[in-house]
Structure 1
Amino acid sequence: MPITDAAAAANPPSNSTIDDPSASWADLLGTTSAPEGWQVVSCENPMLLCVEVDGEILGTVERFSYPLSEVNLQGGAPTTLEAQRQFLDAWVADHQATIQRDRAGTDPTLRFTHDLPAPFPVGSLLGLRYGYALSDAEGVVRERTVGYVATDGEQVYVFTTGVITGDPTGPFGSESDLSAFEPHLATIIEGLRL
C-alpha cells in the first residue's frame, strides 16, 4: 500500500541530499520516471518503492543500507574514489558468488550468468549497476535481478529488483513488466537524493 502523500514523495526539494541511512524511499526520491500510465510511489514499508498501475502493484524495488564498518575490509574504509570503486567491484563479485552458491544448492541444474558491473551514478555517489540471471536447461530465465550499489565511504547503499518466473509475489510478477521499468529505474537511481 503506498503512502498517502505520493505527490510530496515524487517532488522533493531539489539540490538536497539525504545522508540518514534509515531514510525511506519518500525521503530519497528525486526525479521519478515510469512507463505511461504507471506510477512510482513509496510503499507503506519504507524500504520498498511501489510500481503501480491504477493502484495495483506491479512490482517493487527494495533498498537497504548498512555501515561500512560491518564489512570485513582489509586496509580500512575506502576513502578515495578509486578505493570506493574497488570496494564496490569486490562487493558485487562477492554478492554474485553468494547468490550462485545459494541457488546451486537449491537447484544445481540452473545456469547462473551475470552482467559485468558498470559504473552508474547513484544520486551524487559513485555506484555500480549489476545484474544476474538463472536459466533452466532449456534456456528459460527463471530468476533475474537488477541492482545498484554505492558507498559514501561510511555507508553501503543497495537498491534491487527483479523477477522470479512463476512467483507472483516476487519483486515483479513478469519479465515484461521488469523490462519495461528498467530504463525508468535507472532514471530514478540517478536522481536519488544521496
Structure 2
Amino acid sequence: MTRLLVRSLRFGCLAIALAAVSVSTKPVFGDRLLAADPIKPMLPANLREVSVWTRALGKAQPPSPWRVAPCDRSSKAPMLCVYDQQALVGTVELGTHLISSRPDLRQKLKEAGIPAKANYAAPKYRKQVAIALKAWVEDYYAFFKDDRKTAYGDSITFASQPPIQVSLGKLKGFRYGFSGIKQDKDIHEQRVGYVAFDGATLYIITTAFDATSETGKFKTLEDFQRFEPHLAKLIARLQLPIAKRSR
C-alpha cells in the first residue's frame, strides 16, 4: 500500500510539473508554434461547428480566372483553396485565437496602456489596440529573422516589409510580410500575413511561397505574386468580425 501511495504521489508531482511548463507567454505566429500553446488555434464557441472560411468569406470572390473556396475540413488548419482556372495553386490559412489563449497579445495590450480587465473592443482603445498589433508584428519579424539566421546563416537575407494598416472586413489591422533572398537575388521564400483583433478574437491570415510550410502556401512564386494583389482586396471584403450565429 505504501509503495502505491508513493507511486501515486510521484505521478501527481509529474502532472503538476508538466502543467507548469505549459504556461508560457511566448507568442504563436500562425504557422509556427513557439511555446506550449494549443497546437490548433482555440476557436470561439460560434466557430467550432462550422467552416471558419465559410463564415468569413461570404460571397467575396477574386476576379476570373481566379476562384476561392473553403478547403476540405479534414485539412490540418482552416484553409482557403485558391484556384487558377480549375487548377489548385495555393492555400490561405485563417487562424482564430481567443484572447484568453494569447498571453502574448494580452501583454502587448497592457503595454499599450489598456487595463487588464478592460473592454478591448471599446472605441476609446482603438489607438492602443493598433499599437499592440504593430508590436505583435515586430515580435513576429524578430522571431523569423532569428529563426532564418539559425537555419540559413548568411546564405539567405531576411527582408521584412513595414507593417501597413489595412481593413480586414470591418476590422482595422495590419498587413505584414517578409522575403528570404538568396545571394544571387533570387527569392527563396516570401510570406504575407494579415492580423486584426475584435476585442475577443485575434484573426491571423497567412500564406506564403515556402517549400517547408505545411499549411497556407503556394506551389510557385509566380502564382503567389500574381494572386497576392487579389488577396489584399479579398481580405478587405471578408465578413470580419465573425458574428455569433442566431439561434
Measured after TM superposition, the shift of residue 170 of structure 1 is 6.8
Matches of residues 29-178 of structure 1 in structure 2 within 5 Å?
A: 29-45=57-73, 47-69=78-100, 70-72=102-104, 73=107, 74=110, 75-76=115-116, 78-79=120-121, 80-109=125-154, 110-164=156-210, 171-178=217-224
Measured after TM superposition, the shift of residue 188 of structure 1 is 1.4
Q: Per residue, is there more helix in 1 or in 2?
A: 2
Measured after TM superposition, the shift of residue 166 of structure 1 is 9.1
SS at match of 1:93: helix
Measured after TM superposition, the shift of residue 35 of structure 1 is 4.7
Instruction: Give me the TM-score of the superposition, normalised by structure 1.
Output: 0.81
Measured after TM superposition, the shift of residue 56 of structure 1 is 2.6
User: Letter of the aligned partner of 1:144 in structure 2?
Assistant: Q
Determine which structure has greater relative contact order: mean sequence separation of CA pairs < 8 Å that are 6+ residues apart, divided by chain length.
1
Sequence identity of aligned pairs in percent? 32
CA deviation vs aligned residue, 1:33-54 (integer Å, no higher than 9, x gap): 3353221111013600000134
Counterpart Cα distance in 1 of 2:174 and 2:54: 22
Measured after TM superposition, the shift of residue 27 of structure 1 is 1.1
Alignment RMSD: 2.5
Instruction: Give me the TM-score of the superposition, normalised by structure 2.
Output: 0.65
Measured after TM superposition, the shift of residue 160 of structure 1 is 0.7
Are the aligned partners of 2:68 and 2:82 in contact in 1 as well (CA < 8 Å)?
Answer: yes
Q: Which moved more, 1:108-117 or 1:31-40?
A: 31-40
How many aligned residue pairs are there? Answer: 177
**Distance change (3 Å), C-alpha of 1:20 and 1:169:** closer
Are the aligned partners of 2:78 and 2:94 in contact in 1 as well (CA < 8 Å)?
Answer: yes
User: Letter of the aligned partner of 1:37 in structure 2?
Assistant: P
SS at match of 1:39: strand
**Distance change (3 Å), C-alpha of 1:170 and 1:30:** closer
Counterpart Cα distance in 1 of 2:176 and 2:157: 17
Are the aligned partners of 2:91 and 2:215 in contact in 1 as well (CA < 8 Å)?
Answer: no
> Structure 1: where are the runs of 5+ without partners?
1-17
Q: Which moved more, 1:161-170 or 1:36-45?
A: 161-170
**Distance change (3 Å), C-alpha of 1:122 and 1:167:** closer
**Distance change (3 Å), C-alpha of 1:89 and 1:136:** same
Q: Which has the larger radius of gyration?
A: 2
> Structure 2: where are the runs of 5+ without partners?
1-43, 241-247
